[in-house]
Structure 1
Amino acid sequence: MKQFEDLKLMPGASVQLVVVGNDQQNYSLDTVYIGSLALHSLLVAMPSPHLEVQWRSGMRLAMTVIMPTGVATLSSRIDAIGERPYSYIHLSYPQEVVFREVRGAARVKVELPAKVAKVDEGDDSSGFQSRVLDISVSGLKLATDTNIGRVGDELTIHITMYFAGIERELSLPAVIRARLANANNEDQTYANVYGVQFLPLPDEQRILLHAFVLNGLQAGSCATV
């Protein structure tokens, strides 16, 4: 276990608040970390309004923080809500932080349909079939029914992830790093397999990707090299 101060979180860092809405569903809402008073309280900016979420003092919630090597999660409650000079939430200081490490090389087996667009050819991603065979926090293995390019070509990969009962659509900028042998692909619909590396991602997408890979690793869906 870690203490919150061990995270060395800088003001302005992106975080997510996980709360239960009026419909009893969990919602993960993006916001910004403002600062903390050690062993006393945390401050975060008020997330954008959501129809099913009514913020109130005493409300229990979880906060998720993406780190370079994993995902940190902590439990807290709302002690106060401020409006000046901007809307913010005053959180109780967490007793402990759960940190789940996600190694960059750890890959999860998946079967995700994907749409792929080459950056230099516009966003025409409907012309061929493709799917993601495995995924990590740094890249993925992509199978396609056509030759999509050469090593060094940049792509945008559109996928939909399902985890924790939530559907998330991601558009991931990436670059082809290798053309892989297709000996293990029994489905001859896909004649080409590529090793793809992600380009720098927005914080929200990095958080979702880390969470997706972590869930896969916990479920035992590790991919072999």
Structure 2
Amino acid sequence: MKFEDYKLPFGYPLSLEGASAGGVPFKFASKVIGCIPGDVLILSHPRAAKASTLRPGQKILVTIMAGNGVLAFASVIDQIIAQPRPLVFLTYPTKLSFKEIRGATRVEIRVPIEAVCLSGLVATKTTGVITDISTSGARIELTESIGDIGGSMEVSGAITIARMEEKFNFPAVIRSRVERSTRESEAEFPAIYGIEFVEVPHSQRLLLYAFVYSLLATK
């Protein structure tokens, strides 16, 4: 995939790793400000970095938590400006590596859901299905796009445990977005997201664990 395919929103956090002119290693927090695909990537200047630490021509390793893994690429600082705000311009990444990190085993399912995006001024609703789930997150396919990476949402529906139907409502954060091909975009559920469950109430957390482990027991 190309960097722009990850659709990281402006303000998305990342890390810059490298070494100073004296050979002292560093790792600074920064954020995505913008980009011109194929040309330049624009980042905020790390607050913790001294003016002389970062310099044009310096090689940098960029790491980003994206979806269920870590996205990394090497780049070079092209330019640094101080006004109207401190910004770092990097050469646009051409080679990307992605290491998947999953904290829990996922199981394939197909459960109808309603998804509500809570990040905008007005809550946006749509329908879809959960296609795989773990105790920490899920993959969902929706009838339309409703949010960006880093946005908050809730997914709700009904699941069956020991022949009993239970209602669920799981708060989540969008961690990744998968773009279908042109042909696949005509599918019933063209918008695909990877979500992480966050701040799930205790009773709903117990329901989630019971559901996932009951599925694993049948595999």
TM-score (norm 2): 0.48
TM-score (norm 1): 0.47
